[in-house]
Structure 1
Amino acid sequence: MSTQDPREQLSRYQGPLRVWASDAESYAAGCGVFSAAKVRRRFTAVGWERRYGDDPIMLGVIRKIIVALHRDERTTTWEGLQEALREQMAQYADLNPGLRRYVAHAVEQYLDAHDELAAQYGEMRFVTFDPVIGSQGREVVVWAPLYCSADGVREVRRLRVKKARGSTEEHDRWATVAAYIAAGVQMRILPTKIRIVEVGLFDGSTEVVFEGTPDEVRARYEAHGRPVIRGLVEAAGYRPGQSCQKCKLAGCCPSLQDLSGCLGQQHLLAAIGIPLEAARARVGPRDSRRLTTTPRFDTDVAHARSYAARHGHLAARSREEHEGFPIGRWLAEHRQRARRTAGTSPQARVLASLDPWWNPPWPMRWQYAYHHARTHPDTPRATQWITTQRQAWPLLHPGQQQLLASIGISPGTLR
């Protein structure tokens, strides 16, 4: 075990510094020395060897596919999306089959969320992944996609493997740093508004974490972001805890007990405990369901009833209008609310009475293609789609199989 204090090694480091928004997010709960070492990309503690994981999600498979599909014009239709997605997934044939299914599902849910965000806030153009600002070896980066609209609205999307949960903090440090980076990226169109959105890849749910003007972003960063970034690059005090198991400084940290004679490893049990906060009683989710609907909803749902009576469903596309009413955007907003709400709200029950599958657990692109095949079964587009469904039948949701069976499609029957 090295006797050199890691803080001394860090003080001698002269290389580039790169701080990530995710580092700022976890800084307050972590070890100061560990954080200072983490932002120094080329810093290696004495006697330490890094073992890289092979998790394809963390290595960016989903991100790479999203970029490719954003640039593929075929994704405007469900069939084109499936064709483009198959081509992309073919490049990762060595993935575990279960993981491949999740990646394909996550990408479709993300594109659905992209469409619904466009319906609510306007069209957004993909700019880049991992935008960075800074120079002279001092960079601040956010691990996320950046989008921009024609009128200068910039949007950063935080991706979550499960459902979007937004932020429980008054000042979300990740969002604060991400917004500052988005405002500082050099682009032809100057920023007019910055929006930070969390997207759940499990169900396509979205939550706006922060939205403000560039001036508000800078003020927020100066108050709640810059102090955290400054702390990240300074070798502060030690704070032993669960993170010690993955720390690159564990081999030379003076705060840890040296037990290297036990199976040739340093066991950190003596330094790892359960914080008092973890012993607090868990509080169940607050039941915020309303007992009745609102007058505004009762007025708007009349358009949904009229739409369902005419078309037989509520699978309106995000930009679709009905009788002058933005039915597509309205339904997209209620799908997002339903996904964020525990239980079933009165509004969701009303919409389900008009169309049981108004908010399906599968991508809406599938729902659009299904209703096209239901109403125009003899078109080449519908025929190709039906063939694809028959081939993928075992992978379909039971609800999808039920819908297909209702129009005479089964694994052994081709319309």
Structure 2
Amino acid sequence: MLNQKKILLGVSGGIAVYKVSALASKLTQLGAEVKVIMTESATEFVTPLTFQALTRNPVYTDTFDEKNPKKIAHIDLADWADIAIIAPATANIIAKLAHGQADDMLSTTMLATQADVYIAPAMNVHMYGHPAVIQNMKQLEKWGYHFIEPGDGYLACGYVGKGRLEEPQEIITAMERHQQKALDMQGQKVLISAGPTKEMIDPVRFFTNRSSGKMGFALAEAAAERGADVTLVAGPVTIDAQHPAITRIDVVSAEEMYHVMNDQFADKDIVIKAAAVADYRPKEVHTSKMKKQEGDDVITLERTKDILKKLGERKENQFLVGFAAETDTPIEYGLGKLKKKNLDAIVVNDVSRQGAGFEGDTNIVTYINKKESVTDLQQATKKEIAVQLLDCILQDMKDDSI
């Protein structure tokens, strides 16, 4: 996948620079043309001559060192690249990109490029877990940067934990995997629901649940990045959909979501109902605020419409996927829901497990298709889980078409 690709390798200053010389060598051996930008700090660990010898191209270290007076070097490099990768990516370069700071050759070029940008962080375990670093990485991910997570192990600082630069071959494998998936959903129309619903009691009170919408939004972003035309039906959440290929429709109640999902269903190829829709709503909605009274009160609830069941009844050529968030016997419940609602697949997660479920940034799920084939997806970021779930869906669609 990387043969004849023009790859811009950005090297920032950390002890893991020594590994990146092997990455440059492997990329060159694969047939890629590699050009390297080094920060001043990176040159303290490995000399530019090393990368020049490995890539057989000049190494760039200074924004104002214009090697060709007819071209502005950082813009020329930014336009030249098919793919860009920063390895190791320190907390400093991540912060610069997240805040639009361009004060050296690497940050200036990376802010100017339109190529796919991969970031392979490497830093102390506590730095990697610092809220500022986490926030910066989240911001870059929203903007479409692709992260190659560091590994766990012994760090140069003496700590043991997450923060070690991923091995060069694993970095290459991650890049190849992503490049292979690029636009493999082009032409597909995808409908995804996300988030909770709010069921009003009176003008100031409502029933809802803990769903943040993060899983559904991650699925929408992942599908859009692969070329799909995505319609995202979102309950009341505080997150944004960044990708321009996502059409967002906001709803509040289960009734609203029911009507929008049904209206949007007919021309879609893939439908994923990730929203945590209320099963019940107040039978009576008060037009004025209910006043506090002595003693207990009773609110009578009625069932909301079963969106997934309705879509299962209407299903023709759509690939329909449901979600089941459970705390007890999740697999058994998921299998029952899969059959009862005429689904092609169901995603089951035990929300009582550490690292899974509502509000968090990670998830642990089990994907079960209509043939009852079970695929366990281990704990990962919701974005990575989304990518893996789309892989499962596309493979099942391919198998069904054979």
The TM-score bracket by the shorter chain reads under 0.3
Higher strand share: 2
Instruction: Return the TM-score normalized by structure 1.
Output: 0.20
Higher helix share: 1
Bigger relative contact order, structure 1 or 2, given CA contacts below 8 A and separation 6+? Answer: 1
